[in-house]
Amino acid sequence: MTDGYEPASPFLKAIIAEELPLVGSTFADENMQRLIAMMRDQDVSNRDWATLLVALQDADTPEIREALLSAARDENDVVRAEALVGLANRDRELALPLVQSALAGDSVPMPVFEAATLIADPRLIDYLKPWTEPSGDDWLDGLARDALAACEKGSPLA
């Protein structure tokens, strides 16, 4: 993603601008349902943003988990990674094998390191170690090191 990256959908832009509620009313519930549906949109920017926005919500329902699991199988690696953060926030054990699989790939989007930090499980240590080698991106390298430290500690970093 680059600065200024935004979804194509005006609905998602309104959610990002906090112009539409997602909790607290029937209208908000309808918005949440529409947001979940946007996780399957044909436009990748809409899927990416919808997945991120759902992942950030405190709500945890079977429908949200299923939508996140589905997004974790998306063709786009960033959408998959955003879904992993949402799953890690809700169920570390459910997210663990998906994060292991993502870390075993050839490239790892930033949110995968965030998910690994949230999971903070020693079973991720061997998957994370290769990503802590200097890559030329100090910020991303730091995220990988933070994830490794959380997994070595066995709990998310404070």
Specify the DSSP element, H or E, that contains 149: helix 138-153
How far from 37 is each of 41, 51, 54, 133, CA to CA, in Å? 7, 10, 10, 38
pLDDT digits (tens, 9 = 90+) for 45-54: 999 999 999 9
Nearest to 81 by CA among 122, 59, 113: 113
Write the CB contacts of 90 (distance below 8 Å, at least 6 apart in sequence): 60, 64, 65, 68
- Residue 1: what pLDDT? 42
What are the CB-based long-range contacts (under 8 Å, 24+) for 23-30?
Answer: 23/57, 23/59
Mean pLDDT of 67-88: 97
Q: Using CA of residue 142, residue 39, residue 36, residue 93, what is the dihedral sign? A: negative
pTM of the model: 0.92
Band (150; pLDDT cuts 50, 70, 90): very high
Gap between the Cα atoms of 41 and 112, Å rounded: 22
Nearest to 84 by CA among 55, 64, 57: 55
Q: What percent of the chain has pLDDT over 70?
A: 97
pLDDT digits (tens, 9 = 90+) for 12-62: 999 999 999 999 999 999 999 999 999 999 999 999 999 999 999 999 999
